[in-house]
Every structure is written in structure tokens, then in C-alpha cells.
Structure 1
Amino acid sequence: MPNLNEYLGSIISSITNARVMADIQTVKVAEEYAKHDLLKHFAVPHMRVGDVELTIPVALDVLTEKTETEYQPIDNTKFNSLMYKELTNSLGRTSLPSKASKALRALLVEQTHSLEQSLRIKQDLAPVEEYSQVAARQLVQLAEEYQLVSRESIPKLNVEQITSRVMAVAKQEIKVLNQRKVIDNLNVIAESHKLREENPQNIIYIKLKISEEGMEWQQMESSNGEISRRLLPE
């Protein structure tokens, strides 16, 4: 069964392709007019699509929902401090040398900013795992670069274990603001023969109005003589 957005998208795409075919035919007619002694003085027939109104019957087949979660803003100062402490403890230390400390704090600021953006976009806690993995890998790199542990200890640093510990602390600090149910996937029955078999009460009618907005290439010249072309509304 087609997905509703794909089904409606295919209808709109078909109308667009119809306009493309009409324009190609217009070009062919224009070429014929140009060759004719009398027709070359006539306006070339050109079709534009005005408002197209469609009433589309469909029946709902499968509807699945998902939960979108909005999280409270992260307290960056507290959050980064906790992450710094957890990562430092993973090295068996309570503090780091100045340069290494600044480098780690700078990385955490950058990664926490990315985490906040990902949480807003994905609406779940999946980005926390990625954040924790990146933090653990960067910690190992800093440990080697600034010799925070002995060379023999570097291979013994367990990235997966560090990731797990960081992730656990991070999730405790990320609080839910609100949750809501939204449609994740909606499949519909659109075939005529199948719709005839459906109970009329199960059929819905989608009224769709499509208006054309043409685009055209326009050539512009800047003050220094450079020529540029842009696709702009007619």
C-alpha cells in the first residue's frame, strides 16, 4: 500500500511532468512557426497550468505513531563539569595538567552544543550515545597526546566502558520537558477496485488545490561587469 505523502507527491509530480511535456511541445510548435512565412507572425500557443483542484478518495490502511520528546535546555556549566569529572576519573586522575584540561573543556563545550542541536532534531536520546562515544575517543587521544597516563596504559583504556559511564551520567542530566504522539507512517488504499470493496464510512476525501508558480533564468550584470544567472520566480 502506498504511503500517503508518497501518493500525494506522485500526483503533484505527474502534474509537473504534464507541464514539462506541454512546454516541450510548445518548443516544437515554435520551431515550426519560425519556418513558416505566415505562422512566424503569429503568437506561439503556450499552455499554463492555473489552479488545479482535485478530490482524492482514499481509505486508511495502516497508521503508526511515534513519540516525540522535547527536552529541557541543558545546563551547560553543570553538564560539562560532570562530563569533565567523569572523563578525568576514567583515567584514574582527579585533575589534569593545564593544557590538557583546557583542551578537554573546549572539546566538551563543542560536543555539548552539537548534542543540544541533535536532541532538538531527533526528539529522542539516541544522540547521547554518539556524544559519549566521541567524548571517550577524544579522551583517549588527549591522554596519548598529553601523556596523561603511561604508554603501557593507553591500550588498556576501554573506550566502550568509558562511553557507557559517560552516557549514564549524561542521561541523568537530560530532563524531559514534554512528550506528544505524532503520526510516523500512514499507508492508504488508493486503487479504485479496492476502494469499491471498502465500507463508505472508511473512505476519506482529500481536497487538494495546486497552483503553478513558474521560475525563469534571469541574467544579471554586476557593477564590475561579471555576468551571473539566477533562477527566479516569473
Structure 2
Amino acid sequence: MPKLREYLGGIVSEIAEARKMTDLQTVQMAKEYAQDNLLKHFSIPRMKVGTVDLTIPFATAGKSPKMIFRDFIYDEIIQAAKTDYDPSDIKSDQSLKDFLIKQEPAYLDLLIKIKEENTPTLTLDQIEYLAPIPKIIVEFCKSLSNFSWKYTNPDIFHKSISNRVILETKKVVEKIEDQEIIVEASKLMELDVKCLIFAKMSVSEAGMEWSRYEDINGNIVETLIPE
């Protein structure tokens, strides 16, 4: 069963993916317009997402079991990489699992160090202790032959691993309990309506576009800016 953050994040991700599909279609249409003597004088249709209002029913399903380092990192890699990681490549997949097992003692040592500091919450300094772990994992993943990196941005992938390490460490230090939820329509229909929770969410588009400029040294710089 999913967790609420994963479920809501997945919905937002799907909306972004839908926008990407419309942009790809716009590119195809632009090529067709350019090749037609009449159409090339018309503006090219392009859809933008306004505001999507969602009402999402779900029910709590209880606490999820705590996962050990090798398991939660592998789980995050699979989720973050999606189709860019091929677990059916048994040799490479086992290589990744063996690597995570070797990294586990270093993480446990850091966990002991953080516990000994006896802070009520995970501090910024303690988060810095954890920073080398996702870096090492990302570098190893880049060396795997079953990782294509076709759709996965290494920086975003690194952020996902880092966030997961921090979250799992917070669970231990701050005793956070991660609740799983029920979202399947068939299961929700079996429950009393009083057990249902309705999350209302509005998703609005805030696009980015590439901008090129020349700095004082004459170098061409490309950067993303809001549309």
C-alpha cells in the first residue's frame, strides 16, 4: 500500500507527464506546420495547464514497517529511476544490492553518532553527516550497465536518495511513524463512509524556460527561469 506523500506526489507527477506529452505533440505539429505552405503562416496550437482541482478519497491503513538501509535505498532507487533501471539484469542488480549491503555499516555508525548526540529532532549538522551517502550511491549507480539515465536527471535522482535517507533517519531519531493509506476504489467502497478522509488539492502550472545570455567574460550562459 502507498503512503500519502507517495500517492499525492504520484498524481502531481502524472499531471506533469501529461503536460510533457502535449509539448511533444506540439513539437510534432510545429514540424508539420513548417512543411505546409499555408499552415506555416498560422500560430501553432499549444496547451497549458491552468489549475487542476482534485478531491482525493483515502483511508488510513496503519503504520508501515521500518526498513533497513539496504532495503529503503533500493526501494527509492527503483521508485526514482522508474523505467531507467532494469532489475531483470540480474548481474547488475545483484551488484547494486551487494554494494548497498557494504554501505550499510557506515550508515549505522552515523545513526549511532546521531543518537548519542540526543537531539529531539534531526539537526542541520546531522543532515550534513548523511550527505556523503547519497553521493556515493549515485556515483555507483552511474557505473551500472542496467541504468540508462534516459529520463532520469542525476541531480533529481540524487535529491530523491538524499531525501529518503533523511526521512528514514528522522523516523529513528524523531520516532516518526509513516502511515500507509488505502486508495483502491474497491476497498474504499467496503469501508464505512465515516472512515474516509478527503484531501482537496489544487495543482497549478509554473513552467520554466531556458534563457541564454553572455556574461562579462563573453561566455554564453544557459539557465532556467520562470516563464
Taking structure 1 as the reference length, what is the TM-score of the superposition? 0.51
Please name the residue that 2:160 is paired with.
none
1:186 and 1:39 mapped to 2: Cα distance?
54
Identical residues among aligned pairs (%): 45
Root-mean-square deviation (CA), in Å? 3.1
1:21 matched to 2:21? The reply is: yes
Please name the residue that 1:186 is paired with.
179
1:46 and 1:34 mapped to 2: Cα distance?
15
Asked if structure 2 preserves the Cα contact closer than 8 Å seen for 1:63 and 1:183, the reply is no
Instruction: Summarize the alignment of residues 32-47 of structure 1 with structure 2, pairs less than 5 Å apart.
Output: 32-47=32-47
Taking structure 2 as the reference length, what is the TM-score of the superposition? 0.52
- What do the CA deviations read for 1:73-104 (whole angstroms, capped 9, x no partner)? xxxxxxxxxxxxxxxxxxxxxxxxxxxxxxxx
State which structure, 1 or 2, has the greater radius of gyration over its C-alpha atoms.
1
Higher normalized strand content (fraction of residues)? 1
Change in Cα spacing, 1:119 to 1:29, as seen in structure 2 (3 Å) is farther
Change in Cα spacing, 1:212 to 1:197, as seen in structure 2 (3 Å) is same
1:212 matched to 2:205? The reply is: yes
Please name the residue that 2:2 is paired with.
2
SS of aligned partner of 2:55: strand
Look up the equivalent residue of 2:197 and give its one-letter code: I
**Alignment gaps of 5+ in structure 1:** 67-113, 131-180
- What do the CA deviations read for 1:54-91 (whole angstroms, capped 9, x no partner)? 00000111147x9xxxxxxxxxxxxxxxxxxxxxxxxx
Shift of 1:223: 2.0
**Alignment gaps of 5+ in structure 2:** 67-112, 130-173
Instruction: Summarize the alignment of residues 172-183 of structure 1 with structure 2, pairs less than 5 Å apart.
Output: 183=176
Asked if structure 2 preserves the Cα contact closer than 8 Å seen for 1:214 and 1:233, the reply is yes
1:4 and 1:42 mapped to 2: Cα distance?
45
1:50 and 1:186 mapped to 2: Cα distance?
32
User: Displaced runs of 4+ in structure 1, greater than 2 A?
Assistant: 118-124, 181-184
2:190 and 2:41 mapped to 1: Cα distance?
56
- What do the CA deviations read for 1:188-212 (whole angstroms, capped 9, x no partner)? 1000000000110000100011111
1:119 and 1:231 mapped to 2: Cα distance?
41
Change in Cα spacing, 1:199 to 1:35, as seen in structure 2 (3 Å) is same
Look up the equivalent residue of 1:188 and give its one-letter code: I
